[in-house]
Chain A
Amino acid sequence: MSHHIVEARDLHFTYPDGTQVLRGITFRITHGESVAIVGANGAGKSTLLLHLNGYLRPVSGELRVGDSPLTRENLRMVRRAVGLVFQDPDDQLFMPTVFDDVAFGPLNLGLPPEEVTKKVEAALQVVGALHLKDRPPYRLSGGEKRAVAIATVLSMSPDILVMDEPTSNLDPRARRTLIELLKGFQHTKIIATHDLDMVMDLCRRTLVIREGRIIADGPTERIMRDGQLLASSNLEIPLGLRGCPVCGEGTG
């Protein structure tokens, strides 16, 4: 069974305090796709992401991962298949050392110790953070924390990577390194972000969310040129698509 497919059918979600956040979200993301979810602050992006691995349950509607709907029984499998990288690495890195943190997931999956060590080292190697293995996470720089946060998820061998604002608070070099790293991944990727230039680099498809509904779903290229659509979601045309402000070349 392939777990690489995520499908949402008319998801509705309301927080216990009455805030209605998702009002009918429908999409299907298939194997190996790289999809951006963009929208204004408070549009419901993060809430949607928390649905994708079953952390939040929709009030109505259905979420399917792989070929089956998400149920209590396959929750464990879905949690492994869908790796969620949080926006703030300080939330994600809670163990005393980087190694312990990356090993947390595999150990909970019940893997034998040698296997865990192998997976941890492989995951850290991929993100280029193997040398940080024994350091406490709170002593790392922002870029290092982000890399380790991604490794904590990779070590569980997910099929789908879900990321919330992966480039926020990174310096340009760290941001570029991260983008190159993500480009190399074969996983299905779902990225919620405001960094539209990164979207241009990484995602062929973009979903625009406004007030809990999808208002556009299509090729990134087309959506990023639609100034009106972007403006209606508090977004702007990415810098990469604008003309040079000095020489005027490429405008229009």
Chain B
Amino acid sequence: MGRIERHFQDIGYLDTLAGQDTAVHRLDPRAKLVTTLAFIATVVSFGKYEISSLIPFLFYPLYLLAAGNLPAGYVFRKVLLVSPFAVLVGIFNPLLDQEIHIRIGALALSGGWVSFVSILMRFTLTVGAAMTFVAVTGFNTVCMALERLGAPRFFAIQLLFLYRYLFVLVEEATAMVRARSLRVFNGRGMGLPAYGSLMGHLLLRTLDRAQRIHSAMWCRGFDGSVRVMRPLSFGRREFAFVLGWVAFFAVMRFFNLPSYLGSTLSEFMR
């Protein structure tokens, strides 16, 4: 099986995970969306040399992971897959910022290294939270929640269709790539001209399909707006979820728990 195919089946797996029935899955998607956005905003708002105060924020994604019955290995691999971006963003920090920031015994850490680690931490936290959020909610439901929360309807519908047809597009693309690879010998035929025509064909096929889908929609009374029935209810559990977590984030934002614990512990030892 081709690499692209495998990745997309992996994305499909997200839907399977989202189809489970746990307490977190049952929460109104808006509650989860708001909380996750608050989480991301808080994590991003920390100064660039913060490491220890970020640690308590691991609780949120870990909670979703555990309560949502998600396979940790799968989520971790997904986070790892996009990590090169974060590494690229931070990799030059140690070279640019060589001022010594922390000393642990004989080991001196420059500000660059500290901020690099901080970037990686923030990346892991935010991407991890977003991944687990989608895995306990489902992409379609995320789009509906966006729309209910006031995002432009057009935008939500576009996202919905993008996701729906991603699979069809990938299927067509894989079929074409497979057909080509079966007739390529010694690398001949792999070049740019063949690639160009392949992409061109894919575009034409996509347009064709768009035309057919539009006619199918038209036949069933489509008049420009997509209506979806999704009874959402924002009850007491949702309020508790949002308030509880946002309060936790706020406290952890202004109060460095790990360093407090550390100092109390050393005080106690003395």
| Set of chain B residues within 8 Å of A116, measured between Cβ atoms | 229
Cβ-closest chain A residue relative to B227: A107
Inter-chain contact A97/B140, CB cutoff 8 Å: yes
CB proximity to A under 8 Å, residues B161-179: 161, 163-165, 167-168
Inter-chain contact A105/B221, CB cutoff 8 Å: yes
Q: How many A-B residue pairs have CB under 8 A?
A: 77
Inter-chain contact A79/B216, CB cutoff 8 Å: no
Looking at A25-33, A66-74, A131-139, A174-182, the stretch in contact with chain B turns out to be A131-139
Looking at B31-39, B126-134, B207-215, the stretch in contact with chain A turns out to be B207-215
Interface size on B, residues (CB 8 A): 28
Inter-chain contact A109/B229, CB cutoff 8 Å: no
Q: A103-B229, A107-B227, A113-B229 given as contacts; is B164 within 8 A of A138 (CB)?
A: yes
- Interface membership of B219, Cβ < 8 A: yes
Inter-chain contact B219/A55, CB cutoff 8 Å: yes
Return B181 CB to nearest CB of chain A, in Å: 24
CB proximity to B under 8 Å, residues A55-104: 55, 76, 79-80, 83-84, 86, 88, 90-92, 94-97, 99-100, 103-104
| Set of chain B residues within 8 Å of A83, measured between Cβ atoms | 219
Cβ-closest chain B residue relative to A88: B212
- Docked CA distance A105–B221 (Å): 6
Residue from A84, A94, A108, A139 in contact with B15 in the complex, judged by beta carbons closer than 8 Å? A139
Q: A86-B212, A108-B227, A117-B229 given as contacts; is B220 within 8 A of A152 (CB)?
A: yes
Cβ-closest chain A residue relative to B211: A91
- Docked CA distance A153–B220 (Å): 8
| Set of chain B residues within 8 Å of A156, measured between Cβ atoms | 220-221
- Interface membership of A229, Cβ < 8 A: no
Residue from A76, A80, A86, A96 in contact with B164 in the complex, judged by beta carbons closer than 8 Å? A96
Return A103 CB to nearest CB of chain B, in Å: 6
Inter-chain contact B220/A95, CB cutoff 8 Å: no
Residue from B167, B213, B217, B220 in contact with A138 in the complex, judged by beta carbons closer than 8 Å? B167
Inter-chain contact B15/A136, CB cutoff 8 Å: yes
- Interface membership of B27, Cβ < 8 A: no
Cβ-closest chain B residue relative to A97: B140
Which has the most chain A C-beta neighbours within 10 Å: B140, B143, B164, B219?
B219
Inter-chain contact A96/B160, CB cutoff 8 Å: yes
Inter-chain contact A94/B217, CB cutoff 8 Å: yes
- Interface membership of A193, Cβ < 8 A: no
| Set of chain A residues within 8 Å of B216, measured between Cβ atoms | 86, 91-92, 94
CB proximity to A under 8 Å, residues B182-222: 209, 212-213, 215-222
| Set of chain A residues within 8 Å of B219, measured between Cβ atoms | 53, 55, 79, 83-84
- Interface membership of A50, Cβ < 8 A: yes
Return B94 CB to nearest CB of chain A, in Å: 45
| Set of chain B residues within 8 Å of A103, measured between Cβ atoms | 228-229
- Docked CA distance A156–B23 (Å): 35
- Interface membership of B267, Cβ < 8 A: no
Which residues of A line the B interface, CB within 8 A? 50, 53, 55, 76, 79-80, 83-84, 86, 88, 90-92, 94-97, 99-100, 103-105, 107-109, 113, 116-117, 134, 136, 138-139, 152-153, 156
